[in-house]
Amino acid sequence: MLQDKFIVLGVTGSIAAYKAAELVRLLKKRGAEVQVVMTSSAKEFVTPLTFQVLSGNPVVTDMFEKPVRWEVEHVSLADRADLFVIAPATANVIAKMAAGIADDMLTASVLATRAKILVVPAMNVNMYLNPITQENISFLKEKGFYVMEPDEGFLACGYSGKGRFPEPEKILKVIERLAGVCGDLQNKKILITAGPTREPIDPVRFISNRSSGKMGYALAEAAVERGGEVILISGPTCLPQPSGLYKYIRVNTALEMRECVLEYFPWSDVVIKAAAVSDFRPKNYSEYKIKKKDSATAMTLELEKNPDILKELGEKKQKQLLVGFAAETDEIKENAMEKLNKKNLDLIVVNDVTAEGAGFEVDTNIVRIYYKDGSGEEIPKMTKKELAHVILDRVVKLLKN
């Protein structure tokens, strides 16, 4: 499946370095040519000979060793690479890449390449959750790096938590997507909405909801990885723009979102409405800040209904596959199926926002997916990025049918 793909694998000084040997084996089994680059710290955990035998190529370890061929080696690796993978990636190397430091063969090659770069962090949970590490990871994502979420579990240091190196098979699937092998959304135009909307009361106040936008952004990232041409229309969030988008549009109000969605709806093959659009907006907007009056004990705010964007799309759709989301607290299936039928959806993703690990402002989700024929399936707790790929798997299946 990876025949003729040249993959540079950077191995850094983590105890998980030994697991990278299995990743090399899997890549070779898929037909890829693998060139391993090791940092000096990585050699303290695994010998270069191990990777040389598995990859069939001499391992690059020293910036200044005599090259096998007459060429500037870090530039040569950067030019040849179809994909750069740093697995495991330590906090130190992540910080270097974020700062643009190029003081060894690996970081110099990363800085020189124009290929896609996948970073797979592996470290102590406290190091991973440290605000500096998280800032560096966010910065890399903003600059177009793909960063894979580490697993949770027992760590070699004795702690338990996030920071565990993912299983090599899981990394392989991401590599195949980034290398275009699993481009099952190739040539498909996908419109995704994410985040909340804000409905202004006056210049300083607004009505909104708890949506963080994480599910919609995860769907956009996953769709790009699978070869889709993606437009993301986002309400106000604190999330960095996903890399590789065809277009990224920021909006504030439901009316602004409706205008953008209707503009790009004819362009799209698939529409995924993951945004939490406000159902109501203040009827009368005050151009000046509403002052608190000492004599007043209450304030009445009159609301009017916002347009139902999803229902409007259901009425207008022709070629498009339409996916809706629903946040529910009770009678999950009944409410979901009513919404699916009323709005002419092809499938609906619904979650019980009262369940632990599901809903707003968290990195995980637990959902049920329902289809037009009334069938449904329960999806167990997983990260929103993993769930995004599950949802897209169902979309691809429907597109084929």
- pLDDT tens for each residue of the chain, 401 residues long: 688 899 999 999 999 999 999 999 999 999 999 999 999 999 999 999 999 999 999 999 987 665 555 444 557 788 888 999 999 999 999 999 999 999 999 999 999 998 889 999 999 999 999 999 999 998 998 888 889 889 888 777 777 788 899 999 989 988 887 886 557 898 899 999 999 999 999 999 999 999 999 999 999 989 988 889 999 999 999 998 887 788 999 999 999 999 999 999 999 999 999 999 999 999 999 999 988 876 667 888 999 999 999 999 999 999 999 999 998 888 888 999 999 999 999 999 998 887 877 777 788 889 999 999 989 999 988 889 889 999 999 999 999 98
Collapsing DSSP states into helix, strand and coil, what is residue 26?
Answer: helix
CA distance 261 to 178: 28
Q: Is residue 147 part of a domain?
A: yes
- Domain stop point among 146, 178, 210: 178
- Residue 339 marked as a ligand binder: yes
- Domain stop point among 154, 178, 202: 178
CA distance 145 to 238: 18
- Is residue 204 located within the same domain as residue 69? no
- Residue 79 marked as a ligand binder: no
- Is residue 147 located within the same domain as residue 255? no
- Is residue 108 located within the same domain as residue 221? no
Parallel/antiparallel/unpaired status of strands 280-282 and 270-273: unpaired
- Residue 289 marked as a ligand binder: yes
- CA-to-CA dists, residue 246 to 3, 190, 220, 232, 389, angstroms: 28, 10, 10, 8, 19
Q: Is residue 184 part of a domain?
A: no
Q: Is residue 1 part of a domain?
A: no
- Is residue 342 located within the same domain as residue 227? yes
- Is residue 154 located within the same domain as residue 275? no
391: which 2 tokens? 């949802």
**What φ, ψ does residue 305 adopt, rounded to 5°?**
-75, 140
Q: Is residue 343 part of a domain?
A: yes
Q: Is residue 183 part of a domain?
A: no
**Beta bridge partners of residue 121, listed in sequence order:** 89
157 is catalytic: yes
Give the model's pLDDT for residue 74: 58
- Is residue 174 located within the same domain as residue 212? no
Q: Which amino acid is at 268?
A: S
- Is residue 102 located within the same domain as residue 222? no
Q: Is the dihedral of CA 128, 133, 139, 144 positive or negative?
A: negative
Considering its fold, how many domains does the chain have in total? Answer: 2
Measure the CA angle with vertex 158, ends 153 and 160; round to 5°. Answer: 25
Find the CATH number of the domain harbouring 23.
3.40.50.1950
Neighbour-count burial for 56-74, b at 16+ CB within 10 Å, e otherwise: eeebbbebeeeeeeeeebb
- Residue 325 marked as a ligand binder: yes
- Is residue 26 located within the same domain as residue 168? yes
**What φ, ψ does residue 99 adopt, rounded to 5°?**
-90, -5
- Residue 279 marked as a ligand binder: yes
In terms of C-beta density within 10 A (0-12 exposed, 13-18 middle, 19 or more buried), how is residue 187 classed?
exposed
| pLDDT tens-digit map of 186-245 | 889 999 999 999 999 999 999 999 999 999 999 998 998 888 999 999 999 999 888 778
- Would you put residue 137 in left (φ > 0), alpha (ψ -120 to 50) or beta? alpha
- Residue 143 marked as a ligand binder: no
Give the model's pLDDT for residue 393: 93
- Is residue 156 located within the same domain as residue 229? no
CA distance 85 to 117: 6
CA distance 87 to 349: 33
- Domain stop point among 178, 213, 235: 178
- Is residue 156 located within the same domain as residue 212? no
- Is residue 262 located within the same domain as residue 339? yes
DSSP 249: E
- Is residue 40 located within the same domain as residue 152? yes
Give the model's pLDDT for residue 160: 77
Choosing from 157, 182, 238, 260, the catalytic residue is 157
- Residue 307 marked as a ligand binder: yes
Find the CATH number of the domain harbouring 257.
3.40.50.10300
CA distance 136 to 95: 6
By residue range, what is the domain housing residue 165? Answer: 6-178
Q: Is the dihedral of CA 389, 391, 397, 401 positive or negative?
A: negative
Q: What is the largest CA-CA distance in the chain?
A: 85
Block residue for tokens 């799309």: 313
Block residue for tokens 């996948």: 118
- Residue 397 marked as a ligand binder: no
Q: Is residue 252 part of a domain?
A: yes
Neighbour-count burial for 268-307, b at 16+ CB within 10 Å, e otherwise: bbbbbbbbbbbeebbeeeeeeeeeeeeeeeeeeeeeeebe
Q: Is residue 316 part of a domain?
A: yes
